[in-house]
C-alpha cells in the first residue's frame, strides 16, 4: 500500500503528551508475566551442564547414569541438536554456542542438558553426567589473542579482508577499513598530534531478568515457546531452523521482558529447551541462573584501540586515524567493524581512516549491547579529542563545535549526512547551566559526544476497531521500555481519538506478520510508522462506512479529529459521525473495521548526543563520585517524552557503570571470577545523582512525525565523558576502562612519582 513516510510538520494533539503506559498497572501490582512467570501443565525443569574449562576438546560425554536417575525425563547433548544449518556459518555458530559440539570454547559453554521432574533432581542429574575433557591452552585477552603464538580457537580461521589471503590461520577473523582522504598528508598539515592507546574491559548488559523460557513440542510437529526476548519472530526463525520445525507451526509468545539491551537478540537456551521437550515429550521450563547469565550469555567486546588525531593551531582537525581490536568471543563477529564505522562519526574530516580487527577469544559469544561497539570507540576518540583541545589551548566544547559534522558532511563511514543533531547538541551543552556551575576541590568536569546509526526494518501492525469504538493495536516489536504507550499515542493521533480508547499489545508470532527485533533503536521508529500506516488504512474504511451510513460518495467524506465529516455545503445538515458511531454500525456496513500495515521502515535518522558530567575523585583512594550528569540528545520527535528521558537516563547510567566499575574478570585458568551482581558491580541507587536530560527535536525527514530512534545513543558518550572528568579532577589521563579505584589510584601514584 502506498504510504508516504516523509515528515509533514503537523501539529500534535496526543504525540508529545505523557500518559500512563497501558501495561503499567500489571507491572506495579506484580501481575505482569515475565519469562519465568509462566507454567504449563506437566512441565519439567530443564538445566544445563556447562564447561568449567575455557578451552577443551570434548572427548566423550557419558549420560547413562543421569538417564537412570529416577525423575529424569530427558538428557541431551549436541547429538540431539543435529546440524541443520545448511552451510549458514552464522547459524552454525549459534547452534554450537547453544550446545558445544566438539570443543568447549569458554567457561560456561553448554555441553549437555537435562529435563527432570523438579529442580533438585535436575541438579543431581547434572552431577551424574561424565564429560571427558582434554584441556587446551586458552586465551582471553584481545591483544594476546592477536599474537602469533596465541592458542588458536578455530584452526580454520584465516583473516578475511586482507589484500592477500593469509597462509596461516589466526584468531583474527576479519579486517575492515573505512575512511576517505589521505591521513598521511593530513597529519603533515597538523601542528599538534595526539596519539594514544586505550583498553576497555568486557561488560554485560546486566538485565535483571535472567533468560527464561517454557518450551512445548508436540508429537504432530507443532510447538509453542514462551520466552523473554527482544524479537520473538527472529527466535521463531532460529529455533525452527535449528530444530527442523516449520516456522508457522512454532508459535512463539514474547513474555514481558525484564531488560535486554541487546542481550536478548539471539537464542541461547531456547533451542535446548525445545530439544529437551521434544525428547521428553513434555513441556520444559528452562531458566538461567544469574551465574549462567554472566558466564554464558551476553557480553560486549573487550577492546584495545589506538587513536591518532592531528589539528592545526586554529583548531581544525586535519587527520584522524584509529585501529580498533574487538573480541567477539569464540565465534566470528562484526563488532570492530561497527566500532570502526562509528569512531569518528561526529566529526567533519577531510582525512580519516579506521581499521577494525575481529578477534576470537575464549570468552562467551559477544552479543549486541546498546549501540554495540560505539561506546568503546567513542571513549578512545573523545579522550584524544579532549587532550588535543587542551594541547592546542581551545575549550573542548568549542573545539568539537568547530569540527562537528553537519548536513552535507561526508561521514567517516561513507555516506553524506542529511539534517543531523551533533551541532545543536553541542550548542545546547555549551549553553547549559551545568557548564558554568562551580566545581569544588578534587572535582572535574568532562564532556563527550556520541553517535549511533539507528535502524528501521520489517514491521507489521494490526489495528482493530471494536463495535464499541475502542481500538486494539497489535504490534510485533517487543516493548522493552514503554513503546506500547508511545504507539498508542501515535494511533490516537492518527485516528483523532483519546489515548484511553486504545489498548496496545505485543502479538505472538501466529497472530501477526513477521517483525524484526527490537534492536538498533528501531522499536518506536519502525512500529510508529506501521501504526500510522495501519491507522490511515483504517480511516479509509471508516470514511467508506460513514459514506454508506450517509449514502454519499466516499470522496466527499474526510476524517478530522476522530470524526467523519461530509465535506461541502450540500451536506450542511449532516452532523459529523464519530468513530464510535461508525463502529457501532459496522456489522451492517461491511463487517469489522481494521487497519493493517506491513512495511520495511527505512530512513531511520542517525542520532547524536552530548553528555556533561562532574566527577569527584578521592586522591588518597582513587574512589570516584558522580556529582552531576547531563544528557543532551536529539530525539527527532519525542512521542512520549517521559520514556525518551528514561532512555537517556538509563543509557547514561549503564555507561557510568561501564566507565567506573563493571568488568569481566578472568583468572589465569580462564574462568570467570565474578559471575554475580556482588562483584560485577552495576550502579546502585546511591551511586548516582539525578540525571538531567534535554531533549532536542531535529525532525527526521524520513518519518511522518520526524521520529528518530532514541534508545541507544545515550550509552555512547559516558565512558569518555567520565574519563575526561576524572582526568580533569585527578590530573591523570585514564586510558583503561573501567576506571576502578585501584586503576585511578595507581595512575595518581605513578603521576606523583613522575
- Segment 443 to 472, residues that bind another protein, using CB under 8 A: 453, 455-458
Q: Which of residues 539-558 bind another protein (CB under 8 A)?
A: none
**Residue closer to another protein, measured from CB, 574 or 604:** 604
Nearest-CA neighbor of 201 among 64, 345, 301?
301
CA 174 to chain centre: 23
**What cell was used for 202?**
568486557
Among 6, 134, 665, 752, binds another protein (CB under 8 A): 665
| The three three-digit cell numbers of residue 43, written as one number | 512441565
Q: 532 with 5: CB under 8 angstroms?
A: no
Kindly tell me the burial class for residue 42, based on how many C-beta atoms sit within 10 Å of its own C-beta (0-12, 13-18, 19 or more): exposed
Segment contacting another protein by CB under 8 A, of 102-110, 475-483, 505-513, 539-547: 475-483
- List the one residue from 193, 392, 554, 623 that touches another protein (CB under 8 A): 623
CA distances for 498 relative to 26, 432, 546, 573, angstroms:
21, 36, 20, 26
Q: CA–CA distance from 335 to each of 324, 377, 635, 644, 672 (Å)?
A: 10, 11, 25, 26, 22
**Are 213 and 227 spatial neighbours (Cβ–Cβ below 8 Å)?**
yes
> Minimum distance between the CB of residue 625 and another protein, rounded to whole angstroms?
8
* 209 vs 697, beta carbon nearer another protein: 209
Least CB distance to another protein at residue 664 (A): 10
**By CB under 8 A, residue 621 contacts another protein:** yes
Mode of pairing for the β-strands spanning 250-254 and 284-287: unpaired
Query: Can you read off the three cell numbers belonging to residue 189?
Result: 598539515
What DSSP designation does 365 have? P
Q: How many residues does the chain have?
A: 754
Closest approach, Cβ 505 to another protein, in A, equals 15
Strand pairing category for 223-227 and 250-254? parallel
DSSP 279: H
Task: Give CA–CA dist 455/607, Å, rounded.
Answer: 11
Size of the site for another protein (CB under 8 A): 121
46: number of Cβ within 10 Å: 29
Site for another protein in 696-725 (CB under 8 A): 702, 711-712
Chain centre distance of CA 650:
12
Cell 521502515, residue located: 601
> CB of 540: closest distance to another protein in angstroms?
23
Question: Interface mask (CB under 8 A) for another protein, residues 560-579, using x and -?
Answer: --------------------
Chosen residue from 337, 462, 616, 634 binding another protein by CB under 8 A: 337
Among the listed residues 317, 320, 394, 660, the single contact to another protein using CB under 8 A: 660
Q: List the x/- string, 418-437, binding to another protein by CB under 8 A.
A: x-------------------
Q: Which is nearer to another protein, 486 or 727 (CB)?
A: 486
Q: Which of residues 203-222 bind another protein (CB under 8 A)?
A: 205-210
Residue ranges in 32-61 that form contacts with another protein under rule CB under 8 A: 32-34, 36-37
Taking CB under 8 A as the criterion, the residue among 6, 10, 31, 313 binding another protein is: 31
> What is the footprint of another protein within residues 94-153 (CB under 8 A)?
120, 123
- Interface of this chain with another protein, residues 348 to 387, rule: CB under 8 A: 368-372
The SS3 assignment for 719 reads helix
Least gap, CB of 515 to another protein (angstroms): 12
Min dist. Cβ of residue 276 to another protein (A): 19
Site string for another protein, 503-542 (x = CB under 8 A): ----------------xxxx--------------------
Question: Would you give the binding string for another protein spanning residues 721-750, x where CB under 8 A is met?
Answer: -------------------xxx--xx--x-
Report if residue 653 touches another protein, rule: CB under 8 A.
Answer: yes
Q: Single out the segment in contact with another protein by CB under 8 A; choices: 100-108, 175-183, 538-546, 560-568.
A: 175-183
Q: Which is nearer to another protein, 186 or 482 (CB)?
A: 482
For the record, the C-alpha cell of 249 comes out as: 507451526
Instruction: Report CA-CA distances (Å) from 468 to 267, 474, 488, 579.
Output: 41, 18, 18, 9
Nearer to another protein, 414 or 590 (CB): 414
Please, which residue, 187 or 417, has the CB nearer to another protein? Answer: 417
The 3-class SS string of 39-78 reads CCCCCEEEEEEECCCCCEEEEEEECHHHHHCCCEEEEECH
Our finding on whether 29 is near another protein (CB under 8 A) is: yes
The residue within the footprint of another protein, chosen from 9, 30, 438, 572 (CB under 8 A), is 30
Q: Which is nearer to another protein, 50 or 390 (CB)?
A: 50
Grid coordinates standing for 100? 558445544
**Strand ranges for 328-424 from DSSP E:** 352-359
Provide the edge-to-edge strand list for the sheet that holds 130-135: 103-104, 56-62, 130-135
Question: What is the edge-to-edge ordering of all strands in the sheet holding 577-578?
Answer: 557-560, 563-566, 577-578
Structure-block grid coordinates of residue 286: 528452562
Residues 398-417 that bind another protein (CB under 8 A): 413-417
**Contact positions with another protein (CB under 8 A) in 258-317:** 258-263, 265, 287, 289-291
Q: Are 568 and 556 in contact (CB under 8 A)?
A: yes
Query: Which residue in the set 177, 197, 218, 575 belongs to the binding site for another protein (CB under 8 A)?
Result: 177
Q: Quick check: 676 and 616 in contact, CB under 8 A? A: no
| 19-27, 141-149, 544-552, 555-563 -> range binding another protein (CB under 8 A) | 19-27
Please, which residue, 469 or 481, has the CB nearer to another protein?
A: 481
Question: Quick check: 685 binds another protein (CB under 8 A)?
Answer: yes
Amino acid at each position: 500500500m502506498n504510504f508516504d513516510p516523509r515528515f509533514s510538520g503537523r501539529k500534535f494533539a496526543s504525540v508529545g503528551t505523557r500518559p500512563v503506559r497501558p501495561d503499567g498497572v500489571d507491572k506495579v501490582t506484580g501481575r505482569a508475566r515475565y519469562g519465568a512467570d509462566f507454567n504449563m501443565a506437566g512441565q519439567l525443569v530443564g538445566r544445563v551442564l556447562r564447561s568449567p574449562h575455557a578451552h577443551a576438546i570434548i572427548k566423550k560425554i557419558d549420560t547413562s547414569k543421569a538417564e537412570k536417575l529416577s525423575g529424569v525425563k530427558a538428557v541431551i547433548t549436541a547429538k540431539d541438536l543435529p546440524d541443520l544449518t545448511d552451510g549458514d556459518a552464522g547459524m552454525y555458530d549459534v547452534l554450537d554456542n547453544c550446545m558445544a559440539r566438539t570443543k568447549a570454547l569458554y567457561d560456561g559453554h553448554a555441553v549437555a542438558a537435562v529435563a527432570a521432574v523438579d529442580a533438585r533432581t535436575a541438579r543431581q542429574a547434572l552431577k551424574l553426567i561424565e564429560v571427558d575433557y582434554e584441556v587446551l591452552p586458552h586465551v582471553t585477552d584481545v591483544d594476546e589473542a592477536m599474537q602469533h603464538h596465541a592458542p588458536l580457537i578455530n584452526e580454520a580461521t584465516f583473516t578475511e579482508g586482507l589484500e592477500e589471503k593469509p597462509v596461516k590461520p589466526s584468531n583474527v577473523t576479519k579486517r575492515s577499513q573505512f575512511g576517505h582522504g589521505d591521513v598521511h598528508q593530513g597529519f603533515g598539515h597538523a601542528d599538534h598530534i595526539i596519539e594514544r592507546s586505550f583498553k576497555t574491559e568486557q561488560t554485560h548488559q546486566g538485565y535483571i531478568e535472567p533468560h527464561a523460557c517454557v518450551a512445548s513440542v508436540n508429537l504432530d510437529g507443532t510447538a509453542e515457546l514462551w520466552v523473554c526476548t527482544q524479537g520473538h519472530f527472529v527466535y521463531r526463525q532460529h529455533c525452527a531452523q535449528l530444530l527442523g520445525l516449520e516456522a508457522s507451526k512454532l508459535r512463539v509468545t514474547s513474555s514481558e521482558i525484564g531488560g535486554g539491551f541487546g542481550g536478548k537478540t539471539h537464542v541461547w537456551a531456547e533451542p535446548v529447551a525445545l530439544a529437551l521437550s521434544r525428547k521428553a515429550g513434555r513441556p520444559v521450563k528452562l531458566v538461567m541462573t544469574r551465574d549462567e547469565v554472566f558466564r554464558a550469555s551476553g557480553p560486549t567486546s573487550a577492546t584495545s584501540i589506538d587513536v591518532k588525531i592531528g589539528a592545526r593551531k586554529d583548531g581544525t582537525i586535519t587527520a584522524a586515524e584509529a585501529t580498533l581490536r574487538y573480541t567477539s568471543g569464540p565465534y566470528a563477529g562484526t563488532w570492530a567493524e561497527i566500532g570502526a564505522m562509528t569512531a569518528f562519526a561526529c566529526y567533519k574530516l577531510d582525512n580519516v581512516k579506521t581499521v577494525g580487527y575481529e578477534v576470537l577469544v575464549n570468552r562467551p559469544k559477544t552479543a549486541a549491547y546498546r549501540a554495540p561497539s560505539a561506546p568503546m570507540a567513542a571513549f578512545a576518540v573523545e579522550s584524544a579529542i579532549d587532550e588535543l583541545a587542551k594541547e592546542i589551548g581551545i575549550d573542548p566544547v568549542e573545539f568539537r563545535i568547530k569540527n562537528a559534522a553537519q548536513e552535507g558532511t561526508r561521514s567517516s563511514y561513507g555516506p553524506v549526512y542529511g539534517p543531523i543533531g551533533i551541532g545543536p547538541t553541542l550548542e545546547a551543552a555549551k549553553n547549559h547551566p551545568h557548564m558554568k556551575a562551580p566545581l569544588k576541590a578534587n572535582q572535574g568536569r568532562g564532556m563527550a559526544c556520541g553517535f549511533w546509526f539507528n535502524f528501521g526494518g520489517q514491521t507489521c501492525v494490526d489495528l482493530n476497531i471494536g463495535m464499541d469504538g475502542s481500538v486494539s493495536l497489535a504490534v510485533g516489536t517487543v516493548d522493552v521500555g514503554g513503546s506500547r504507550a508511545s504507539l498508542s499515542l501515535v494511533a490516537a493521533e492518527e485516528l483523532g481519538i483519546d489515548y484511553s480508547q486504545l489498548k496496545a499489545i505485543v502479538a505472538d508470532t501466529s497472530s501477526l506478520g513477521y517483525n524484526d527485533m527490537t534492536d538498533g533503536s528501531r522499536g518506536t521508529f519502525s512500529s510508529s510508522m506501521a501504526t500510522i500506516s495501519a491507522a490511515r488504512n483504517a480511516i479509509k474504511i471508516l470514511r467508506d462506512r460513514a459514506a454508506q451510513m450517509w449514502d454519499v460518495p466516499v470522496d466527499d467524506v474526510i476524517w478530522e479529529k476522530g470524526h467523519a465529516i461530509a465535506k461541502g455545503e450540500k451536506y450542511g445538515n449532516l452532523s459529523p459521525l464519530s468513530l464510535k458511531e461508525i463502529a457501532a454500525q459496522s456489522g451492517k456496513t461491511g463487517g469489522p473495521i481494521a487497519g493493517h500495515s506491513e512495511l520495511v521502515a527505512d530512513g531511520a535518522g542517525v542520532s547524536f548526543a552530548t553528555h556533561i558530567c562532574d566527577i569527584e575523585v578521592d586522591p588518597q583512594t582513587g574512589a570516584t563520585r558522580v556529582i552531576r550528569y547531563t544528557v543532551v540528545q536529539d530525539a527527532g520527535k519525542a512521542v512520549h517524552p517521559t520514556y525518551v528521558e528514561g532512555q537517556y537516563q538509563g543509557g547514561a547510567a549503564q555507561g557510568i557503570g561501564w566507565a567506573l566499575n563493571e568488568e569481566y574478570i578472568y583468572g589465569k585458568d580462564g574462568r570467570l571470577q565474578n559471575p554475580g551482581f556482588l562483584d560485577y558491580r552495576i550502579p546502585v541507587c546511591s551511586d548516582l545523582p539525578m540525571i538531567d536530560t534535554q531533549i532536542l527535536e531535529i525532525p527526521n525527514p524520513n518519518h511522518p512525525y520526524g521520529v528518530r530512534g532514541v534508545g541507544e545513543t545515550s550509552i555512547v558518550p559516558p565512558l569518555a565523558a567520565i574519563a575526561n572528568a576524572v582526568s580533569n579532577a585527578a590530573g591523570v589521563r585514564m586510558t583503561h576502562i573501567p576506571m576502578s579505584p585501584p586503576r585511578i589510584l595507581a595512575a595518581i601514584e605513578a603521576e606523583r612519582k613522575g
